Chains A and B, each alone.
Chain A
Amino acid sequence: MPHAVQIENLHKSFGSLEVLKGVDFTVDEGQVVCVIGPSGSGKSTLLRCVNLLEQPTQGKVSVGGVELTDPDVDIDAARRRLGMVFQSFNLFPHLSVLRNVMIAQQRVLKRGRAEAERVARENLGKVGVAEKCDAFPLQLSGGQQQRVAIARALAMDPALMLFDEPTSALDPELVGDVLAVMRKLAQDGMTMLVVTHEMGFAREVADRVVFMDGGVIVEEGPPDQVIGNPQHERTRTFLKRVLDPGHADDGAGAAPPAA
């Protein structure tokens, strides 16, 4: 069986700035992989290369056995199988919540209005915002908006969900609702690739954690290993900063975090 995601020797440059410097990794079906790392490490770019929102400079990206970097592939068709959740939600502000979840079903999957509405309501119920169907996105809290965005992606029956720092734009007290929805998705067996700063979530939910820095994968493995007992100096420094931000300036070589 092909890997859900297979990335080989991925390079991405913006002008003269090389953001990804040769990344290889795979995600298997049903797996949850969390990508962590400092800002500017290329983790968001990596995620955006998976559904080709960024065109890789070099390398191969395959999803479910289909090579997306093949110039002759129908990228629109391929993206239908990939749900994406953005840091800034990106709901369509001119459409009601229900229409947000319906529009791609109708226009892309050519589902009828009734079926699209049924699927939309079902998914909005699943993420716990069923009662907000007729509201407009900007009337919702950030946490509700992000859950609608997840429902919008799920309504397309994706084989893989990509999350680009889904809780980074949320007020702290709203993070939990979104993480709960993602945890539930993982339990239901969804294949997920998650860029996140939520170490607790990564540790609890991920099958594998990938630590990136400077455009390369520094370390990857089970969460207890990468987060609990990191092997590399850079991973240790990063985790110390994230888990204990009050002492961010402690020199390198400090003890591994107690988390």
Chain B
Amino acid sequence: MTQSTTAGPAGPAGHVPGRPRFSPRKKQQISRGVQYTVLIAAVVALAFLVNWQGLAQNFAKMDVAEQSLPDVFTIALRNTIIYTVGGFVLGSLGGLVLALMRLSSVRPYRWIATVYIEIFRGLPALLIFLLILFLPLALPGFQVPGGTYGQGILGLAIVSSAYMAETLRAGLQAVPKGQAEAARSLGMSHSRAMISVVIPQAVRIVIPPTTNQFVSLLKDSSLVLFLGVSGEYVELTKFGNDLASTTSNATPIMVVGLTYLLVTIPLGYLAGRLEARQAKGR
């Protein structure tokens, strides 16, 4: 129910109706003033209360940082990229198969794909890696091909294929039905139409979300740490953690963190650009 405020003139001492005590402009000025005051107070407090010397000693010690060079790039970053790219490629292929299974007309295929996707999207990635460690126990004589690399890549692929499957399924379904119909009406078989017409378009549609998935996979590659890798197989997180232990200093972890950002921030940027370009192209 609305109550009319326009009835009758305001009392002699009242302010004009519809005119609050502070104008919106004034209110905004006050609000902004308060926010700046709080910010300045916080900065000043931090500057005086924090032990900067101690922090720098522990987190940004130059000579420790130098110790991590060049191995942080030549071994750790290289391995991180090997694990991630390997897991991504294998996961994409698995994801495509799962997505096609989910859209299959054969019902058991749909069930299998759905069960796989629900399970592996619902479990923490770490749990998968811990399970991989026990694979040789469960299947005596079984060795994951590719040794340590193989194990890390397999773990990442198992997780990413579940996510990729859902992304690709959405992409396949986003291709208008008329595309497959046009291909079929030209005499293409169902699979030929998928390969030549539908999948290439679906892949284009999913490039931006897939780039984001690659970034999250890159971060998940830190879980390789739990496979007990060492020496030439270490990736960034393990590398940073080991060096931090031997030097009793957190600087290597900061160095490793910056190295991750060196890759993830440009990729995130790229995903945003691709998304914007696609939005424009429609």
Contact = CB atoms under 8 A, between A and B. Distances in A.
Given A92-B197, A93-B201, A107 B188 contact: yes
A229 B197 CA distance: 46
Contacts, number: 59
Contacts of A88: 178
B181 A76 contact: no
A80 to B, nearest CB: 4
A90 interface: yes
Contact of B185 (A79, A91, A94, A138): A79
B182 interface: yes
Contact of B188 (A76, A90, A91): A76
B273 interface: no
Contact of B186 (A93, A94, A152): A152
B204 A94 contact: yes
Contact of A156 (B184, B187, B189, B204): B187
Interface in A87-116: 88, 90-94, 103-104, 107-109
Contacts of B204: 94
Contacts of A93: 201
Interface in B148-206: 176, 178-179, 181-189, 192, 196-197, 200-201, 204
Interface string A12-52: 00000000000000000000000000000000000000010
Contacts of B281: 138
A104 B178 CA distance: 16
B203 to A, nearest CB: 9
A153 interface: yes
- Taking each of A84, A86, A104, A149, which has the highest tally of chain B beta carbons within 10 Å of its own beta carbon? A104
Given A92-B197, A107-B192, A107-B196, A156 B181 contact: no
Interface in B196-252: 196-197, 200-201, 204
Nearest to A149: B182
A51 B186 CA distance: 10
A77 B187 contact: yes
A104 B192 CA distance: 10
Interface residues of B, number: 19
Nearest to A109: B187
Interface size, A (range): 20 to 34
B188 A82 contact: no
Contacts of B178: 86, 88, 90
Contacts of B185: 51, 53, 79, 82-84, 153
A137 B197 CA distance: 14
Nearest to B281: A138
A92 B201 CA distance: 9
A76 B189 contact: yes
A104 B187 CA distance: 7
Nearest to A91: B182
A94 B187 contact: no
A56 to B, nearest CB: 16
B187 A80 contact: yes
Nearest to A152: B186
A63 to B, nearest CB: 13
B181 A104 contact: no
A104 B188 contact: yes
Contacts of A109: 187
B187 A76 contact: yes
A49 to B, nearest CB: 13
A90 B204 CA distance: 17
B201 A94 contact: yes
A170 to B, nearest CB: 16
A53 B184 contact: yes
Contacts of A83: 185
Contacts of B181: 53, 86, 90
Contacts of B187: 76-77, 79-80, 104, 108-109, 156
B184 A108 contact: no
Nearest to B178: A90
A76 B188 CA distance: 6
Contacts of A84: 182, 185
A94 B197 CA distance: 8
Nearest to B197: A92
Given A94-B201, A94-B204, A104 B179 contact: no
Interface of A: 51, 53, 76-77, 79-80, 82-84, 86, 88, 90-94, 103-104, 107-109, 138, 149, 152-153, 156
Interface of B: 176, 178-179, 181-189, 192, 196-197, 200-201, 204, 281
Given A88-B178, A92-B197, A153-B186, 20 more contacts: A51-B185, A53-B184, A76-B187, A76-B189, A79-B185, A79-B186, A82-B185, A84-B182, A86-B178, A86-B181, A90-B182, A94-B200, A94-B201, A103-B196, A107-B192, A107-B196, A108-B186, A108-B188, A108-B192, A138-B281
